[in-house]
Structure 1
Amino acid sequence: MDLSIIAEYGPLLLRGFFITVVCWLLGTAFGAALGLLIAVVQRYSNAPVRWVLQIYIEIIRGTPFLVQLFLLYYGGPMIGLRLDPIPAGLVGLTIYGSPYFAEIFRSAFRAVPLGLIEAARAIGMAELSIVRRILLPVGLVSALPALVNFSIILTKETVILSIITVPELMYQTQYMSTMTFRYLEANLALALFFWIFVEVISRIGRRLEVRITRHLIERS
């Protein structure tokens, strides 16, 4: 095993890792925002709207991310939707992640004690304020582990973006393997980068959970 190859291709791998992190951050943020919107609309809309949203959730959760990405990037031009690789990857991650985030938020909302919501309504609090000041902060405590866990899953889904030539970490390690024919070193670098990435996210998630719980205890 020749580790000097990793050092030689280090700048290329770091550039790919940076793109991976950016795609993950934006895809996770947009996916969570869309998922939250879906969960709120499901909670307060009528039955037909809930059925439409539930069909969307089941379709996205029931199909592989690779298939969705192919349809978006290669099938999109057939209906006039032409996206460059990175925007297509971000849209793909957003669509893929939103149903899972929606289900996490929906479960978190249902875990909020009904008495808190009834008390807020009794004092005349608007439903939007109830969502912002009760459902989200209280539900976030129970939802945070699931949110962090799915965010970690999304880090690994970013490797699929290499299929549509997004120059993220997987794409760069494949290029490194092609140029050097050293597959062990390339995949070792890939595994090391992702292990560090996941560890950082896990530690941030644990700290957030502690801080949010402490904040709610201090407010109560």
Structure 2
Amino acid sequence: MSFDISVLTNEWRALLQGLGLTIFIWIVGSALGMLLGLVVALAQLFLGAAVRAVLQAYIGLIRGTPFLIQLFVLYYGGPFYGLDLSPMTAGILGLLLYGGAYFAEIFRTGFQSVPVGQIEAARMAGFTQMQIALHVQFPQMLVIILPALANMVIILSKETAVLSVITVGELTAVVSSIGSTTFAFAETLLFLALTYWVLIELASTAGRALEKRLGRFTTRAPA
């Protein structure tokens, strides 16, 4: 057997389209998941016990079940409850809900990491609780939690490969189709692995650069 690169070059349009869809789903799912996580974290910190209990149940359920099962429930189980989603919508919603639970815990921990003295000083200055969270706690904790945020974004990039099981035409689905048709599994799977490795390395580099840049403008708070 020989390594035939033409299997990939002959299908470059399909591969490029699959890659573009993977990146799109990854970015949208990560951004919406991060926004949901921030909202959930703020709600846990400032709303009543009943709301916190519901949100903690959501976080526990998502973190305690595999992403694949969550996708199956959304896509295949949804129609039984009147939720008929397209593969793309189910995939993005799945990433949103999955990432949101983890992002929520990251943000919650970050808010709680800001020294109490600074929060008390902001209260003395007349800040509301929400203003303290957004203008005092959020800027300071962002640098602290940035590595965890970047790591979660990287995890979501890997989870996009799971979306092929609900027929989303992202890169893994395209590569699997080419491999099944040509039986060139070595070429296609190696290409898939290298592509994800490049995406993750780019995301890691961007995260480190952003962390370094933010660190220049953030003064470490006194203990």
TM-score normalised to structure 1 length: 0.96
Match of 1:89 in 2: 91
User: What residue identity is the alignment partner of 1:52?
Assistant: V
**1:127 and 1:213 mapped to 2: Cα distance?**
25
Q: Give the deviation of 1:128 after TM superposition.
A: 2.0
The one-character-per-residue Cα deviations of 1:11-60 (angstroms, maximum 9, x if unpaired) are 21111111000000010011111111110010011222211111111111
Paired residue secondary structure (1:160): helix
**2:204 and 2:10 mapped to 1: Cα distance?**
30
**2:6 and 2:63 mapped to 1: Cα distance?**
42
User: What residue identity is the alignment partner of 1:126?
Assistant: T
The one-character-per-residue Cα deviations of 1:38-86 (angstroms, maximum 9, x if unpaired) are 1001001122221111111111100111111001001111111111111
**2:11 and 2:152 mapped to 1: Cα distance?**
31
Q: Does 1:70 align with 2:68?
A: no
Paired residue secondary structure (2:139): helix
**1:127 and 1:182 mapped to 2: Cα distance?**
59
1:138 to 121, 132, 140: 140
Match of 2:58 in 1: 56
Task: After TM superposition, list the pairs within 5 Å mapping 1:167-206 onto structure 2.
Answer: 167-206=169-208
Percent same amino acid at aligned positions? 48
**2:117 and 2:19 mapped to 1: Cα distance?**
46
Question: How many residues are paired up?
Answer: 219
**1:133 and 1:9 mapped to 2: Cα distance?**
50
**2:172 and 2:135 mapped to 1: Cα distance?**
41
Match of 1:80 in 2: 82
The one-character-per-residue Cα deviations of 1:164-200 (angstroms, maximum 9, x if unpaired) are 1110010000011011110000101101110110011
Q: Does 1:101 align with 2:103?
A: yes
Match of 1:164 in 2: 166
Paired residue secondary structure (2:44): helix
Match of 2:46 in 1: 44
Runs of 4+ in 1 over 6 A off after TM superposition: none
**2:29 and 2:84 mapped to 1: Cα distance?**
19
TM-score normalised to structure 2 length: 0.95
**2:126 and 2:51 mapped to 1: Cα distance?**
26
Q: Give the deviation of 1:6 after TM superposition.
A: 1.4
User: What residue identity is the alignment partner of 1:203?
Assistant: T
Q: Give the deviation of 1:213 after TM superposition.
A: 1.1
Note the residue ranges of structure 1 that are not aligned, 5 or more in a row: none
2:9 to 7, 10, 32: 7
Note the residue ranges of structure 2 that are not aligned, 5 or more in a row: none
**2:26 and 2:136 mapped to 1: Cα distance?**
28
